[in-house]
Amino acid sequence: MPTNKGAFKIFTLAGIGVYVHWMWFLAAAYSIQYRTHVYSSLLWNVLEYFSLFAIVLTHEFGHQLACRQVGGQTHDIVLWLLGGVAYVSPPQRPGAQLWSIAAGPLVNVILIPVFSVLVSASSYLGWYNTHPDAYELIHNIWKINIGLLIFNMMPVYPLDGGQILRSLLWFPFGTCK
């Protein structure tokens, strides 16, 4: 069951409550202030952090929607200092559990070519010289997405990589219905 202690509800989408832990705000303030040398204006730092927020949230909704697709129950999403947690209850079938777990990282995989095209287009258009902040933002979002994917796929529980490994190891012993 979800724990929202220390978190504030910011909205509900598709019946899923989205909460942000107070530590997320602390990390945002630190990150935005710490990286002031990257862009010419603080606004770009804020946009970068909102992009991180959107990527993590989209990843968590991937878990939620996949769980619903296999007949599971979804609960809240809580974003906290080290990422997000999608509280889901997939059916106790190996394929259903695996899909509910793998759908989050799959969102990041799908975003790689999207951001790659944006990076390539901005480079082709010469934004590095004409709009350096916009170019840097797009490039940093691309790197953030890939970094989140690589980190999250480490085979360590409770990261998605660890949960996928657990699900794959459980699959031969589980029952498929």
| Residue 143, domain member (yes or no) | yes
pTM for this entry:
0.89
Block residue for tokens 């946009």: 47
| Residue 101, domain member (yes or no) | yes
Tens-digit pLDDT profile for residues 151-170: 999 999 889 999 999 888 86
Q: Taking 50 as the threshold, does the pLDDT of residue 38 lie above it?
A: yes
Residue 1 pLDDT: 45
| Residue 35, domain member (yes or no) | yes
| Residue 177, domain member (yes or no) | no
Task: Count the domains in the chain.
Answer: 1
Tens-digit pLDDT profile for residues 142-153: 999 999 999 999
| Residue 175, domain member (yes or no) | no
Residue 28 pLDDT: 87
Start-to-end C-alpha separation, the chain: 25
| Residue 133, domain member (yes or no) | yes
Q: Which two tokens stand for residue 74?
A: 């979804």
Mean of the per-residue pLDDT values for the chain? 90
Q: Taking 90 as the threshold, does the pLDDT of residue 93 lie above it?
A: no
Strand order in the sheet with 83-89: 7-13, 16-21, 73-80, 83-89
- HEC profile for the chain? CCCCCCEEEEEEECCEEEEEEHHHHHHHHHHHHHCCCCCCCHHHHHHHHHHHHHHHHHHHHHHHHHHHHCCCEEEEEEEECCEEEEEEECCCCHHHHHHHHHHHHHHHHHHHHHHHHHHHHHHHCCHHHHCHHHHHHHHHHHHHHHHHHHHHCCCCCCCHHHHHHHHHHHCCCCCCC
| Residue 176, domain member (yes or no) | no
List the domain range (segments joined by +) for residue 120. Answer: 7-170
